[in-house]
Amino acid sequence: MRFRRALTAGLLAATALFSGAGAATAGTTGKDGDPTEAGTGFRTATAVKQDQKATADASTGDYLYWQFPAGAGQRPTARATVRLPEANARHGAATWRLDVFDGLRRRQACAEGEPTRKAGPQDSTITLTCTLRVVRPYAERWSDDPLPGAYYLRLTVVDGPDQDMGLPVHAEVEATAEDAGGKYAEGGELGAPLHAGAVSEPEGGWTGGWWSDRWLWTVGGAVLGALLAIGGYTLTRHPHRFSR
């Protein structure tokens, strides 16, 4: 318990050092409430909710940033679709990349998806995806496992003709999360999210909801154990019934 308190304090202190005093901006929203601008860095990353679509008009070569929440027991997936400049305005293929960072700005590995894609001269749009590992309720100090809190998305072109830099593009991003199930439930938890940023707490909370499919296994095991106990008692108490 003492170790977990020390871990929480260390992580929160590190968050303060990395985050600074500036808060992320919420960005401009459209008539439906969805953000229509992206930030230009971690401190100005536009906040989006899970399952909410955010858009941004930008230029090829810009770094676009968003942030979204993820709680313990969730498996987040980020998806970005880029509408590219007109084919006759481009001078060759370009490689786009979607990066995901945690609250301490550590790049998180994608367990599934295609976070890097090359757009050919004739492609009009490309889609990039990244599914993270399951968010854990706590982790060891040396681990870079995903923890509850805000996650940052960064979208940019990493390779392309110099003549194409500055051409207009339109980006659309969305972050979703699915419940990973009871087998990922653990006993401990952080005292607070790793870094909440400007995002709202996810629907199930930072530490996950109380319900888990592990309850089904627990209750089922208890019922089965009770039935076996009753059967064993009956067999030993009245063996003549079964001998007949």
Task: Please list the rounded mean pLDDT of every run of 10 residues in the chain (244 residues).
Answer: 44 41 50 91 97 98 98 96 96 97 95 97 96 91 88 97 97 95 66 89 79 47 66 64 53
Same-domain check for residues 146 and 234: no
User: Do 223 and 156 have their domain in common?
Assistant: no
Assigned token pair, 9: 């304090």
- What size, in residues, is the chain? 244
- Collapsing DSSP to helix, strand or coil, 87 comes out as helix
Integer Cα distance of 218 and 223 in angstroms: 9
Q: Looking at residue 4, what is its pLDDT? A: 46
pLDDT of 186: 64
Confidence at residue 207, expressed as pLDDT on a 0 to 100 scale: 86
**Claim to verify: residue 15 and residue 71 sit in the same structural domain:** yes
Same domain as 122, residue 81: yes
CA distances (Å), 100 to each of 17, 136, 160, in order?
Answer: 20, 16, 21
Same domain, 122 and 218: no
pLDDT in the model for residue 210: 46
Same domain, 128 and 222: no
- Do residues 200 and 49 make contact, with C-beta atoms less than 8 angstroms apart? yes
Q: Which pLDDT score, from 0 to 100, does residue 181 have?
A: 72
What is the token pair recorded at 42? 């971690």
> Cα–Cα distance between 55 and 53 in angstroms, integer?
7
Cα–Cα dist 224/237, whole Å: 20
221 lies in which domain range?
Answer: 213-244
How close are the terminal C-alpha atoms of the chain, in Å? Answer: 58
**Domain identity same for 120 and 223:** no
Q: Which helix or strand (DSSP H or E) is residue 216 part of? A: helix 214-237
173 and 94 in one domain?
yes
Q: Residue 159: give its domain's CATH number.
A: 2.60.120.380
Helix (H) or strand (E) holding 12: helix 2-19
State the pLDDT at residue 123. 96
Six token digits for residue 16: 């303060």
Q: State how many domains the chain has.
A: 2
Judged by DSSP in three states, 80 sits in strand
Cα→Cα distances 135→58, 70, 106, 146, 156, Å: 31, 7, 14, 5, 25
pLDDT of residue 29: 78
Closest CA to 192 of 138, 134, 132, 133: 138
If asked whether residues 189 and 217 sit together in one domain, one would say no
Q: Are residues 143 and 228 in the same domain?
A: no
| In a shared domain, residues 151 and 56 | yes
* Shared-domain flag, residues 124 and 34: yes
